[in-house]
Amino acid sequence: MVGQEPPEELENGPPLGTSGNLLPRDPPSPVPEASARVKTRAIRYALARFLWTRSGLKSVRLCRVPVSDVVRVGIHGSDFIAHISGVARCSSPWSCPLCAPRVRQGRAEEIEQGLRFALDTGMSALFISTTLQHGSRDPLAQTFDLLRRGHRLIHSGKHWKALHQSLDYAGAIRAWEITHGRNGFHPHSHELALFEGQVSDDQIRALEDHYTRVYGRFLAKHGLYLHPVHGIDVRRVQSAGDLAGYLTKMDDSTWGAGLELARQDLKTGKRQSQTPFELLADATDGDLRAWALWREYEDATKGKRAISWSRGLKARLLVATDDQGATDEDLAALAPDADEVWGIDLPPKTWAAVRMAGGIAELITMCEQEARSGQKETADAE
């Protein structure tokens, strides 16, 4: 069973539309202060289990299968944070309800660290959002590709090189985001552009004019147009939390620049739009259209980077010693900093059975309870 696909009879899972709602509405929350964590975990694992027998991505189907002789569930620190070792992780920042939050949180922390260092040392920053015209019948693969190609064109050529030098451009951090609404899939980019010194209003206008001219011509060649208001949006960033027009409060935590760039998994769609994970949740209710849209999203984002840094920028901002830094795989498997206070080892067959039965979230909650009980008994004995 180690590292293998689910049994053939489970590969496609129960037919959509007849499986009922797979999301737990009232997951167990025996510890009041941990109830939000327990509920979030239950929903994420329910979504993951749905994908384990249906996803078009093999790595997602194999996420959390046992890959060693022992699977360990460890509970760490005074907050009793669970960590599982001895299992595979797909590390997808796009399509995994379990790995995406961990990878994107790690990236958000890198961005926050880099931005704070930049602003503290006299650099300046702009937050640039870019999108393109699209319709309900436009394939996501096509519009997403056009958006990415347009960005490459913006940052190339003699004019960009001259502008790059005049602005003392240090580089950028770019994140790609996708939502879905009445006009179909809506791909857009968020870019944190950094400069060695302070940029004037005139320089910002010159930069915006360059984006508008180059990107607008590119879209026109493909029969599209750049919206005069929403196509490109440029804003100054005065502090790590100075994105008030974009930032909202989600999951009881205040958004910063890093979260805005990196954490698509935490966002909810605005007005009539939905995030991909909201589409996936609808699919678990048997919504065939939502499932088809999710599969289109899986295919369009497969193998593409969700967040990227300009070459050398991580080292410049002391986020990493080289361009690579932590990989998505590193972040997905990262254990808590705190020491393990309780743990249990499971044979691979037992873990595999719990996984396919949808019992991992409940198992983790039980382990957290045991750890808390053990700590309480020790304190009482003292």
Picking from 137, 60, 133, the residue whose alpha carbon sits closest to that of residue 95 is: 60
- 92 touches 100 (CB < 8 A): yes
Name the maximum alpha-carbon separation found in the chain.
Answer: 76
φ, ψ of residue 214 to 5 degrees: the values are -70, -50
User: Are 328 and 344 members of one domain?
Assistant: no
Picking from 199, 195, 191, 174, the residue whose alpha carbon sits closest to that of residue 304 is: 174
Indicate whether 94 belongs to any domain: no
Assign 241 a pLDDT band (cuts: 50, 70, 90). Answer: low
Give mean pLDDT, residues 222-229: 86
User: Are 175 and 321 members of one domain?
Assistant: yes
Indicate whether 325 belongs to any domain: yes
- 123 touches 197 (CB < 8 A): yes
Query: Which residue type, as a one-letter code, is found at position 49?
Result: R
DSSP, res 196: S
| pLDDT above 70: residue 248 | no
Picking from 79, 77, 74, the residue whose alpha carbon sits closest to that of residue 36 is: 79
| pLDDT above 50: residue 221 | yes
Give mean pLDDT, residues 28-41: 68
Indicate whether 71 belongs to any domain: yes
| pLDDT above 80: residue 255 | no
**pLDDT value at position 242?**
54
**pLDDT value at position 147?**
96
**pLDDT value at position 273?**
84
User: Are 321 and 209 members of one domain?
Assistant: yes
**pLDDT value at position 105?**
86
State the residue range of the domain holding 361.
8-89+340-381
φ, ψ of residue 213 to 5 degrees: the values are -70, -50
**9 CB-near residues (< 8 Å, 6+ apart):** none
- Tens digits of per-residue pLDDT, 40-81? 899 999 999 999 999 999 999 999 999 999 999 999 998 899
**339 CB-near residues (< 8 Å, 6+ apart):** 76, 77
Indicate whether 15 belongs to any domain: yes
User: Are 110 and 240 members of one domain?
Assistant: yes
**pLDDT value at position 37?**
86
Interstrand relation of 81-85 and 184-195 (parallel, antiparallel or unpaired): unpaired
**pLDDT value at position 106?**
87
Indicate whether 3 belongs to any domain: no
pTM: 0.84
Give mean pLDDT, residues 141-163: 95
Percent of the chain with pLDDT over 90: 65
Assign 131 a pLDDT band (cuts: 50, 70, 90). Answer: very high
User: Are 166 and 243 members of one domain?
Assistant: yes
**pLDDT value at position 135?**
87
Indicate whether 228 belongs to any domain: yes
Indicate whether 21 belongs to any domain: yes
More confident residue, 345 or 318: 345
CA distances in angstroms from 298 to 61, 65, 141, 189, 292, listed in the order given: 12, 20, 10, 18, 10
User: Are 349 and 316 members of one domain?
Assistant: no
Helices (H), the chain: 35-52, 58-61, 99-120, 140-154, 158-166, 201-221, 257-262, 276-284, 288-301, 313-316, 328-332, 348-356, 360-381
Indicate whether 1 belongs to any domain: no
User: Are 182 and 291 members of one domain?
Assistant: yes
User: Are 195 and 276 members of one domain?
Assistant: yes
User: Are 17 and 82 members of one domain?
Assistant: yes
| pLDDT above 50: residue 198 | yes
CA distance 300 to 294: 10
User: Are 302 and 203 members of one domain?
Assistant: yes
| pLDDT above 80: residue 142 | yes
- Tens digits of per-residue pLDDT, 5-27? 433 333 344 455 444 445 554 44
Give mean pLDDT, residues 195-213: 96
**pLDDT value at position 34?**
61
Total domains in the chain come to 2
User: Are 139 and 228 members of one domain?
Assistant: yes
**pLDDT value at position 230?**
80
User: Are 163 and 282 members of one domain?
Assistant: yes
**pLDDT value at position 264?**
55
More confident residue, 262 or 187: 187
Give mean pLDDT, residues 264-274: 62
